[in-house]
Amino acid sequence: MTMSDEHPVPSGSSQKQPETTVSLPALDIPSSDLDLDFIIAPSEPIPEQSTKVQKRASNVMKLSLEHKKLEEELRIMNERLKAAEQAMTSKRGSTLRSPSSL
């Protein structure tokens, strides 16, 4: 694309803009051993770090299972407590109602 393509001359004008080319300066870049594979390729985790991560994941799984068990035990205890409270209130209600218990 030339400069004249980017900025068209209005249709009543017969003047043409001269084409200009821009030359970039030469850069003196030192060579290096890096390539795109170094950046893109997945790096291997450090063994010590991966061991720590695996151990932590294992601990989290154990704690999660224990948490679920404790929640289930709590639910069962709450059900038993409600049943015991209902039994006590119904027993109290029946003793207050019946005169034969006196």
pLDDT tens sequence across 35-92:
666 667 666 667 788 889 999 999 999 999 999 999 999 999 999 999 999 999 988 8
Q: Is the pTM of this model over 0.75?
A: no
- Higher-confidence residue of 75 and 98: namely 75
pLDDT given for residue 8 in this prediction? 56
pLDDT tens sequence across 2-45:
444 555 555 555 566 667 777 877 877 777 776 666 667 666 66
* Closest to 3 measured CA to CA, from 19, 15, 27: 19
Non-local CB neighbours of 88 within 8 Å, separated by 6+ positions: none
| Domain range summary for the chain, segments of one domain joined by + | 50-96
